[in-house]
């Protein structure tokens, strides 16, 4: 009596960012699993049961949802943004790879959502208009040394860098350290965008430069975009500037 498991992206904020596909998947679920604040964004419907959990419990949450689906019913796991970007989709795949054989036989679907870097970029122009990469600064699941090496490589190779998880309560200093590393490889005037709680009522988007960027401007709901040598800021009278990375790149400078 096997059921289904759907891993659903809620987008970055309010329901305008929820795709019709994600909405349908949520409506047809009997049980919803997720990090408590994300689950709180989904109204409880009569027949549904919510199973909120803490954000450090991704593996346990994936296992619980898979076990539930194996017993029958339509189970959904919700993620903020896109479930495939530093979120639950990979945790579910890891659990299926290492878990009981029955989990491999389940119908599992992944419903994409608008990830934070795209929502922030759209607020300000086109900072991701040319080659870019995304990096999580969380060192829960990888050593800080590796994060540092990847930042150095990304900046040296000319990628715009979207930084997820810049800070957390347990990681107060890493983002400042990351800015220091980037300053050694990029010009002081490199544009930096801080997008805080984009798509929510307390949204704030600030544009600054790498030399003026202050680590204290970022919190757990901030996505930071650090430009490349090509990224430009277009001032506009009476309007916020546009930040964009041109479609053509001349050369990669280390």
Cβ-Cβ contacts under 8 Å for 121 (sequence gap 6 or more): 127, 128, 162, 193, 225
* Angular region, 151: left φ>0, alpha ψ -120 to 50, beta rest: alpha
Q: Note whether 199 binds ligand SAH by CB under 6 A.
A: yes
Number of residues that bind ligand SAH (CB under 6 A): 24
CB of residue 250 to ligand SAH, shortest distance in Å: 30
Which residues, numbered 33-62, are part of the site for ligand SAH (CB under 6 A)? none
Q: Which is nearer to ligand SAH, 224 or 229 (CB)?
A: 224
CB of residue 249 to ligand SAH, shortest distance in Å: 26
CB of residue 251 to ligand SAH, shortest distance in Å: 31
Q: Which is nearer to ligand SAH, 191 or 195 (CB)?
A: 195
Which residues, numbered 145-164, are part of the site for ligand SAH (CB under 6 A)? 164
Q: Which stretch binds ligand SAH (CB under 6 A): 90-98, 100-108, 122-130, 215-223?
A: 215-223
Binding residue (CB under 6 A) for ligand SAH from 222, 228, 231, 245: 222
Q: Which residues would be at the binding site for ligand SAH (CB under 6 A)?
A: 12-13, 79-82, 85-87, 115-116, 120, 164-166, 195, 197-200, 220-223
């Amino acid at each position: 009596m096997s059921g289904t498991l759907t891993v659903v992206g809620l987008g970055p904020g309010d329901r305008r960012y929820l795709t019709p596909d994600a909405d349908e998947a949520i409506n047809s679920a009997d049980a919803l699993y997720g990090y408590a604040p994300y689950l709180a964004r989904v109204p409880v419907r009569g027949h549904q049961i919510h199973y909120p959990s803490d954000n450090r419990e991704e593996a346990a949450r994936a296992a619980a949802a898979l076990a539930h689906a194996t017993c029958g019913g339509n189970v959904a796991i919700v993620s903020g943004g896109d479930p495939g970007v530093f979120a639950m989709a990979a945790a579910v795949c890891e659990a299926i790879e290492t878990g009981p054989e029955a989990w491999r036989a389940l119908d599992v679907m992944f419903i994409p959502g608008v990830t934070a870097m795209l929502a922030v970029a759209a607020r300000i122009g086109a900072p991701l208009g040319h080659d870019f990469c995304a990096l999580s600064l969380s060192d829960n699941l990888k050593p800080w040394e590796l994060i540092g090496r990847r930042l150095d490589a990304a900046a040296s190779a000319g990628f715009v860098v979207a930084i997820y998880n810049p800070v957390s309560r347990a990681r107060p200093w890493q983002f400042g350290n990351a800015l220091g590393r980037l300053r050694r490889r990029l010009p002081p005037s490199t544009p930096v965008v801080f997008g805080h709680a984009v798509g929510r009522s307390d949204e704030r988007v600030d544009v600054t430069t790498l030399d003026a960027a202050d680590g204290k401007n970022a919190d757990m709901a901030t996505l930071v975009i650090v430009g490349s040598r090509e990224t430009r800021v277009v001032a506009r009278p009476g309007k916020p500037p546009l930040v964009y990375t041109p479609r053509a790149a001349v050369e990669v400078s280390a």
